[in-house]
Every structure is written in C-alpha cells, then in structure tokens.
A = this chain, B = another copy of it.
Amino acid sequence: MIEYEDASAEVRTVFDDIRATRKTEYINNFWKALAHDPATLRRIWDSLKEVMAPGALDPLTKELIYLAVSATNQCAYCMASHSASARKKGMTDAMFGELMAVVGMANQTNALAAGYRVQIDECFR
C-alpha cells in the first residue's frame, strides 16, 4: 500500500480529490492499493465519483445497490467499506435488514430460474 507521504504527484492529486470529495482525511486501503497503478487509480476514482453522484437515484440508494452486488459476489472488503459509506448516508439497521432480505431472495430465485430453465415470457421480451 502506498501512503500519502510516499505518493507521486499524480497519486497525491487523486488522494487530495478523495479527501475533498468525501470531506475526510482518511484514505481507505482500496485506494492505497490501487496507487501502485496511478492510471487505474485515477480512472476508477473519476468513474466512481461520477457514478455515485446524486442523479435520478439518490446517493443512499446507490450505496444499497453497491452492497447488493458486493454480497452477491462475496466481496468482504466491499461489504465492509460500503456498509460504512451507506451508514454515513443514512442507512438504518432496518434498511440494512431489508436490503439483505431482498439480496438473499434474489440470489435464491436467480438459481431457481436457471435450474428450472424458465423461458422468458413473451410479454417480458
């Protein structure tokens, strides 16, 4: 992992933007790891900032979607870091409970649809 103190100017520019955007001094390990590849660090950060910004969906809904994907993929790091972000943006215990209930059900019915080889209804095409 690359700390701010040891970072190149290119990496520092991204780290500075992360700090300014998130209003915190803390840079989490994901970015320090990506800093080994400054081009990817910049590209992923720029994309993430654009994608997670408020738009037709609010930032909290976006975090819930992020968590849904991360639980499905068994990504322990992403669950940990985005649970923290989601809490900061207003996710309550009850919301997290319902999120997980939906994620669990969807993973279940996805497997059932594949197992039963269900054909797509004409009206859904």
Contact = CB atoms under 8 A, between A and B. Distances in A.
Given A50-B43, A68-B65, A108-B108, A37 B118 contact: no
Copies of this chain per assembly: 6
Contact of A74 (B29, B51, B101, B114): B114
A7 interface: no
Given A34-B116, A62-B102, 12 more contacts: A29-B121, A36-B93, A36-B97, A43-B51, A44-B109, A51-B101, A66-B105, A72-B111, A75-B114, A76-B117, A103-B112, A107-B107
B28 A105 contact: no
B102 A52 contact: yes
Contact of A110 (B36, B61, B78, B83): B78
